[in-house]
Amino acid sequence: MADVVIAGSGFAGLTAAIKLKRLLRHSGHRITVVARDATFVYRPSLVLLAFGKKSLKDITFDLRTIYKRTRIHFVEAAITSINPEAQTLMTDQGPIKYDKLIVALGEKLAYDEVPGLREHGYNVCTPDGALALKDALTRYHGGPTVVGWAQNVQTGGPAFEVALELEEWMKDHKVAGSIDFVDPLPKLWAPAGPEATEFLTKVFAERHITRHGPVQIKEVKADRVILSNGEELPSVLTIITPPFRGEDAQKSLAGDNPRDWLETGKDMQSVRYPDIYVAGSAVAFEGPKQGHTAMLQAETAVYNLTQDLLETGKPHKLYDHEMSCVLDLGTGEGLFVRRSLWSQEHQEFKIGRQWPLAKAALAYTFVHTPVFKKWGLSMPK
């Protein structure tokens, strides 16, 4: 009987756990999920939390209930390191041994890489961050603002939504302010394709949001943002996503990856440690890191890990990197983009009022019904 351990319980870890339970039922293998927080946060709704359109309760649920109902062993613990030779996770609750491991630890926000960002900047990457911004908005009575994301961020969409929500918020609250938008990409929202770039450029122009880019953030001061090209943007409210890097706990598996991401093949198996699979933001792939990609990767990882464990001899399935997202323009309209980044399989670009509604319905379903059929997240029998 093997011990299969999943490190992390966000989009990737939760998907992996429930899928694995289904695939390994009747096999006798044990599944354990380890995460430092027993609350699942539906991160795509954090922008709405910041702008007072959702409460924390609307966008979170208790993982213990899900794992109890699915009879998956859940350990609430902070992982401090992973020893691949001893096949052990070191945690603040003691060591946990594994035979097979799925690493799904998400990303770390590397504030230290941009001086002043922690002290003078806001972001919507965590519930605390979103709530701090909500509070800051009560003290904002106008003036220049800077929104965007720093170098090495691989999730840009939220910053667009923040800029668009902020512009609506200024109008609603009759506050006179300006929005400068900063990002490091060669073109605005480049990974979403030329149609998305063109559309968003038009929307930004209509809504008087001025883009500065491609540019990196050198420093954030209380009253301005200093860019890598020497430009200084005055700002009384700075909302910038900090750089991403791999969680400290996975450092020991990252080899010489400069940002501590874990390298895998397209089958999501670690290139260094065959008993380890990786899914979600923890993976070293270029391009957007999304909840969507995290779930697809988790499905691939789980399928392949199961074939190894059960020695079926079936070939590994391969993951196809694709982004899929709805950008809520904050006006009732939205944009849907689905794009395969390694192949031409999906290239969709649609605009309409149905997309924000679809996004809201998806968020509601995810948080309120753990039975999320599209992804096969129904309860194991």
Ligand X SMILES: Cc1cc2nc3c(=O)[nH]c(=O)nc-3n(C[C@H](O)[C@H](O)[C@H](O)COP(=O)(O)OP(=O)(O)OC[C@H]3O[C@@H](n4cnc5c(N)ncnc54)[C@H](O)[C@@H]3O)c2cc1C
Can you give the binding site for ligand X, defined by CB under 6 A? 8-13, 34-37, 43-44, 46-47, 78-79, 104-106, 124-125, 155, 157-158, 247, 249, 280-282, 289-292, 294, 325
**Nearest CA-CA partner of 369 in 46, 47, 69:** 69
Give the pair of three-digit tokens for residue 106.
Answer: 């998400």
| Nearer to ligand X (CB atom), residue 179 or residue 218 | 179
Question: Which amino acid, residue 191?
Answer: P
Whichever of 87 and 241 has its CB closer to ligand X, that residue is 241
CB closer to ligand X, 98 vs 218: 98
CB atoms within 10 A of CB 95: 10
Q: Which C-beta is closer to ligand X: that of 238 or that of 290?
A: 290
For the chain, the straight-line distance linking the first and the last C-alpha, in angstroms and rounded, comes to 20
Cis-peptide into 158, omega within 30 deg: no
Sign of the C-alpha dihedral, residues 54, 60, 65, 70?
positive
Distance CA 280, CA 275 (A): 17
Cβ within 8 Å of residue 328, ≥6 positions away:
47, 161, 164, 334, 355, 356, 359
The whole-angstrom separation of Cα 55 and Cα 247 is 28
Task: Report the run of H or E that residue 20 belongs to, with start and end.
Answer: helix 11-23
Identity of the residue, 91 or 235, whose beta carbon is nearer to ligand X in the bound complex: 91
Minimum Å distance from CB 141 to ligand X? Answer: 25
Residues 6 or more apart whose Cβ sits within 8 Å of residue 157: 189, 288, 290, 325, 327
| C-beta closer to ligand X: residue 227 or 294 | 294
Task: Tell me whether residue 303 or residue 336 sits nearer to ligand X (CB atom).
Answer: 336
- Identity of the residue, 21 or 289, whose beta carbon is nearer to ligand X in the bound complex: 289
Helix (H) or strand (E) holding 155: none
* Nearest approach, Cβ of residue 245 and ligand X (Å): 12
Amino acid at 82: I
The residues pairing with 221 across neighbouring beta strands, listed in sequence order, are 224
Length reported for the chain:
381
Closest CB to ligand X among residues 220, 294: 294
Question: CB of residue 77 vs ligand X: minimum separation in angstroms?
Answer: 6
* Least gap, CB of 381 to ligand X (angstroms): 26
Q: What is the DSSP string of 284-327?
A: --SS---HHHHHHHHHHHHHHHHHHHHT--PPPP----EEEEEE
Name the minimum Å distance from CB 213 to ligand X: 19
